Amino acid sequence: MIRRHPHVFGDEEARSAGMAKGMWEKIKAVEKAEKRDARLARGLDPEDNGKGFLDSVPVALPALTRALKLQEKAARVGFDWSEAAPILDKIEEEIGELREALAKGDAAPIKDEFGDMLFAIV
């Protein structure tokens, strides 16, 4: 509030000048950009709609297409592999978790682990 109303809370010069035309909109735009950047840096949806950063990728996409889009979004905020060896380790880890879920025979964890494996492969 103080930031958006320098004609009320600002120094003597700002108070005497009053609110310059368009100043409020400019201040609000700067605040919105700062908020968007901060949310993006934390991996959240930059539009602040209560969803996570990856929630904007449609669930209705085919699995491989969706996995690719999720990977691309994650890479834009620094979640990416720089070498091949850790990727193979992750894929092997996910295959192991899938095998454990298959041994237990519960459908929900099997589905989750299969998705994790697929995501690691893409």
Question: Over the stretch 39-64, which tens digit does the pLDDT of each residue have?
Answer: 788 777 676 666 677 888 888 999 88
Q: What's the CA dihedral at 78, 82, 84, 90 to 10 degrees? A: -30
Mean pLDDT of all residues belonging to the chain? 81
Q: What is the DSSP string of the chain?
A: -TTT-HHHHS-HHHHHH---TTHHHHHHHHHHHHHHHHHHHTTB-TT-SSSBGGGGS-TTS-HHHHHHHHHHHHHHTT---SSHHHHHHHHHHHHHHHHHHHHHT-HHHHHHHHHHHHHHH-
| Average pLDDT rounded to a whole number, residues 70-96 | 88
Q: How sure is the predictor about 71, in pLDDT bands with cuts at 50, 70 and 90?
A: confident
Which is higher by pLDDT, 1 or 99? Answer: 99
Classified by CATH at the fold level, domain 57-122 comes out as Helix Hairpins (1.10.287)
Q: How far is it, in rounded angstroms, from Cα 36 to Cα 54?
A: 15
Q: Residue 87, CB half-sphere, CA atoms under 13 Å: how many? A: 12
Where in the chain are the domains?
1-55, 57-122
The residue with tokens 């996995």 is 67
Q: How far is it, in rounded angstroms, from Cα 90 to Cα 79?
A: 14
pLDDT of residue 101: 95
pTM: 0.50
In tens, the pLDDT along 93-112 reads 999 999 999 999 989 999 99
